[in-house]
Chains A and B, each alone.
Chain A
Amino acid sequence: MSTPTFFDPSTRHGSPDPHRSHPLRPDRVMSRARTFIVLGTLGLVVLGSLVGWTRYESRRWKRDDLPQLRALSSRLHLSDLALWTEARYTRHPSQADLFSPFQDSPGAPEHFPAGSIVSPSPVLTDPLSIVASGSGGRLRDAGSDGRRRAMPEERSPDVVAARGSSSGWAFTP
């Protein structure tokens, strides 16, 4: 009398597969958890390697490129990044004046895309820095023309005279 057989997925295509275990056998328990932990660790290792690579590259840039870039910036007196060439207040945001975004067309909306990215320099909007840079003068009495003018607190006659001078350039003390 032959032994009764039951359907087993592993025997579907012929003889039983000795490497295929039953879903409820102990070696199958937690195999998903193990796989997840292994893959998660692998992901963390890749992420950690990338962070390590960024640190290495950052140090290499500081050691090899930065001194040369600083020397270039210093030699040519460069004060801005050459990113946006659309308008002067986007090419040289640090050198822009208060009104530059609008001075070519008063009341016009922002017409350069980079203007949406380049926020105004905090220097332009920070009243403290304006005061600190010495723009706050005192009001003097009305002159003969009846107008009131803000005058600097100190202005020596030689300084005033020196303003008209234009002798040479590249000054040193």
Chain B
Amino acid sequence: MRRHLKILDFALASLQRRPFKNWAIIAVYAFTVAVVASVLFLTQSIRREAAQLFVGAPELTVQRMVGGRHVPIDIGVGETIAAFPSVVGVEPRFWGYTYDAVTESTITIMGAGPGMATIDLVEGRLPTRPTESAIGAGVAAMWGAEVGGEVILVDAATTGVLYEVVGTFESPSDILTNDLVVMTAEEAALFLGLPEGKATDLAVRVANDNEIDTIAAKVKRAFPDSRPITRSEVLRTYDAVFHWRSGMMLAVFSGGLIAFVILAWDKATGLSAEERREIGILKAVGWDTGDVLELKMWEGVVISSTSLILGLITAMVHVFVLGAPLLTPMLRGWSVLFPELHPTPHVDPYLLFAIGFLTVVPYVAATVAPSWKAAVTDPDEVVRG
């Protein structure tokens, strides 16, 4: 044990002789780990949130398709679907978008069907009259509106309509409601210009989860122009969107990995003349090959474990404490009403081990491998170059 500690001590002394170079490697290495880990932590957290949240989503949503486009569906279709065994209820959804030219933002309009007007996460209540609305935190902040205030929205007939704000959604629900303006279902249909007897789509409640696919198939057979979307498909969509293999996240993730590979490759492609001379001298004063390799292994472990710990701590603080401010601009795109991200802290230990394994092991291997060649060569030859 003491022997290993002495070799570790010697490795630290050796690293201290080139402080600038080694601290630069640690900084780049830790930054790379922090970028990769931030992407993984953020995407994993949002994916997990979506998977947990949409358990409350409708088991089945039925749309009507014409010419490849989603068009309003007959409300009467719901009556037929409600008669299918295992269907608990069908409710039409009235939703759509409106563009606010003043703030250059797109707002989502959602109709709230009959039900409880007071609900958690709403300061005030949901609208019960056509002149009332409940608005998301993003919309409220944009217009400076609050409960008791008023908002003007331009409807499908380009008429400005005044609504009293009777509720605002509270911050924890931002990820679901940030850009929402909720009205009564009838008012939403009127506002969006939906024809009489039509809804945007139908939400279907199914009693038995095992029968959702069967009901979807029955709906499709009964109404060939319909498109049933099951809840598991919604969950799969968000799993794909926030998977590390998708889109921009993959670009950031691969950028970080490539930077790390270049770093490791630079180490693996050979030793500097000074390092070779150092190995030669150690061999000449009596160190055996095993000791030299252990010395190099410790150098690799010191650099990579320091960088890994610093990188992981930075990533956790960045994503879970600060709300991923460096990744948000990439996620935000052109969205005017992008919610403030507060990813629910969640770290899978498996992920930590995977990051550690993928970074520490290749770096240590890349440090030890070139040293092995110098360590097995005759010291005289190594020192003379």
Contact = CB atoms under 8 A, between A and B. Distances in A.
B309 interface: yes
A72 interface: yes
A173 B85 CA distance: 8
Contacts of B312: 47
B29 to A, nearest CB: 14
Nearest to B116: A75
Interface stretch (B146-154, B222-230, B272-280, B374-382): B222-230
Nearest to A52: B347
A112 B219 CA distance: 34
Interface residues of A, number: 89
Contacts of A116: 247-248, 251
Contacts of B291: none
B339 A169 contact: no
A95 interface: yes
Interface in B284-316: 302, 305-306, 309-310, 312-313, 316
B119 A71 contact: yes
Contacts of A80: 234
B87 interface: yes
Contacts of B230: 133
Interface size range of chain B in the complex: 35 or more
Contacts of A94: 229, 233-234, 237-238
Given A82-B177, A119-B246, A134-B216, A29 B339 contact: no
Contact of A82 (B77, B174, B330): B174
A171 B221 contact: no
Contacts of A100: 69-70
A81 interface: yes
Nearest to A156: B222
B113 interface: yes
A113 B334 contact: yes
Interface string B338-352: 110000111101001
A170 B114 contact: yes
B256 interface: no
A99 interface: yes
Contacts of B233: 94, 121, 123, 129
B80 interface: yes
Contacts of B229: 79, 94-95, 123
Interface stretch (B20-28, B158-166, B195-203): B195-203
B141 interface: no
Given A133-B216, A159-B80, A73 B56 contact: yes
A83 interface: yes
A85 B97 CA distance: 9
A33 B5 contact: yes
Nearest to B341: A83
B88 A172 contact: yes
A123 B237 contact: yes
A170 B91 CA distance: 4
A128 to B, nearest CB: 11
Contact of A85 (B12, B69, B108, B247): B108
B220 A73 contact: no
A120 B227 CA distance: 16
Given A65-B172, A91-B108, A122-B236, A32 B13 contact: yes
Interface string A58-76: 1001100110111111111
23 contacts: A30-B5, A33-B9, A40-B305, A47-B309, A47-B312, A66-B52, A73-B176, A78-B110, A79-B57, A82-B176, A83-B331, A84-B338, A93-B241, A97-B69, A97-B70, A100-B70, A103-B69, A113-B333, A116-B247, A121-B237, A133-B213, A159-B80, A167-B76
Interface of A: 29-33, 36, 40, 43-44, 46-47, 50-51, 53-55, 57-58, 61-62, 65-66, 68-86, 88, 90-91, 93-100, 103, 112-114, 116-123, 129, 132-135, 137, 150-155, 159, 162-173
Lowest 7 CB-CB distances: which A-B pairs, in order? A113-B333, A166-B197, A134-B220, A165-B76, A70-B56, A171-B82, A134-B217
Interface of B: 2, 5-6, 8-9, 12-13, 16, 46, 50, 52-58, 61, 63, 65, 68-70, 74-83, 87-93, 97, 105-108, 110, 112-116, 119-122, 126, 136, 138, 169, 172-180, 182, 196-197, 199, 201, 203, 213, 216-224, 227-230, 233-234, 236-238, 240-241, 246-249, 251, 302, 305-306, 309-310, 312-313, 316-317, 320, 330-339, 344-347, 349, 352
